[in-house]
Amino acid sequence: MSSIPILRPRLPRLLQLRSVRFSSASPHLPASSVAASFLSRFQSLGPQSRSQILDANQLNLLTLTLNRPSLFPTTPALAASSHTPVPPGYHLVYFTPDFLETDLGADGTDASYNPESPFTRRMWAGGEVTWPHDTQGKPNPLRVGQQVTETTRVLSAEAKVVKKTGEDMVVVGVEKEFSNENGISVIDRRNWVFRKALPTPSISSAPGKSSSLPPSTSHLTTPSHTSSAILTEGNTHTRTLLQTPVTLFRFSALTFNPHKIHYSLPWAREVEGHKDIVVHGPLNLISILDLWRDIRGKTQAAEEAPLLVPQRISYRATSPLYAGDEYRVVLEEGDKGVSHVQIVGPGNAVAMKAEIHA
C-alpha cells in the first residue's frame, strides 16, 4: 500500500503539518484560547492532500477481521480484486497515519491534528459520512486499483464542557474528502474530542494487579460474530456481536491505529480507567453499515449489491464498549428510506446512535 503526499513548492505541506505538532502551551490556558489558536493555525495551512492507489489486500484483510464469509452479502467469494467497489465505511482502512513512533502522543495517537497541551487526550466522538450520488441516483464508489486523493480540512474547533464532570474539552471538526477520476466519492466529517491529558502512572507488569477493577476475562472469550445472523421482527433488525482482543488488534493493525486503549490492557485500565481494552468507534460505524447493506442486499440482484451505498449516515458515540462485551446492533427501518440505529451494550447502555438515509 503506497502513499504519495501531494506537496506544494517551497515548504511542503507535510512538513508544515508536522511542525505544528510540537508546539506547547501553558497548562493553565483556557480551552477557548487553545481552540482559537488551533483553528487559526490550521486555517492558515489550508487543506492537506495525499494520494494512494487502493489495493485489494486491505479489503480482504478487513473482511477476515470482521469474520465475514464474503465481502458482499450476495457473492460467495471472499476476495476482492481489481475494480471491486469499496463497501461503505471500508475506506477507513486506507490513508492510514504515517508517522514515526517517536512522533506519537503519550497515549499512542498520532498528534497531527492535536490542539496544544494539555488538550491531547483524543477520542472519536462521532460524525457524518456522505456518498454523493448523480442525478440518476447512482453513487461514485471507490474501487480497487484506483488512484484516490484524500483532502483533509479542519472545519472547526470549539471549547466545551463535559456535562457529567464539568471538565473542559476541545471539540475539533475535520472533513476528509476522497476523490477518484470521476470526482468526489466520499465525504467523511469527523468530530474528535480532546480532553486534558492524564498523568501517566507507573504501569504494573501484571494487568489489573494495581487496579481496583475486577480482573479482565476478555482473553477467555471466543468470537461470536456471524455476519449472516440477523434477527428480524417487523421493521426491526438485530445482529449480536462480540469483539475479542484478537479482532481489536487486527483492526488496529489494518488502520495503523496505535491508540493504546485498543490493545494495551495496563494502559486502558490503569491510566484511562477503563475496565478492559476499548472497541474502536470506527469499527462500530462499519458494523452499522454492514448490517444496513446486508439487510438491503437480500433484495438486490447479485450484480447490484456491490453498488449498494446509502446517501449518508450520521452517528454519535455515547459510551464505550469493551473486548468481551456482547452487544446488539439494532436497526429500525423508518419512512422515506431513513433507518434509525442503536448499538446497545451490557445493561442496555447505548454505545452509539446513528441515522442512515438511503
Contact at 8 Å (CB) between 105 and 10? no
Cell numbers found for residue 216: 479482565
236-242 β-sheet, strand order: 4-5, 48-53, 147-161, 168-180, 183-196, 119-130, 312-317, 350-357, 338-344, 326-333, 236-242, 231-233
pLDDT tens figures, 131-180: 999 988 899 999 999 999 999 999 999 999 988 788 899 999 999 999 99
Cα separation, 342 vs 353, whole angstroms: 5
Q: What is the CATH number of the domain that holds 55?
A: 3.10.129.10
**Phi, psi of 123, rounded to the nearest 5 degrees:** -140, 145
pLDDT tens figures, 324-353: 999 999 999 998 889 999 999 999 999 999
- Look at 201 and 92; give whichever has higher pLDDT: 92
Give yes or no for residue 36 having a pLDDT over 70.
yes
CA atoms in the 13 A half-sphere facing the CB of 267: 15
pLDDT at 21: 45
Domain count for the chain, please give it.
1
Give yes or no for residue 201 having a pLDDT over 80.
no
pTM beyond 0.95: no
Contact at 8 Å (CB) between 353 and 315? yes
pLDDT at 329: 98
- Interval 198-209 mean pLDDT: 58
Cα separation values, 57 from 42, 81, 358, Å:
33, 9, 28
**Structural domain boundaries, residue 213:** 4-357
Cis peptide upstream of residue 118 (ω within 30 degrees of 0): yes
The counts of H helices and E strands in the chain are: 6, 12
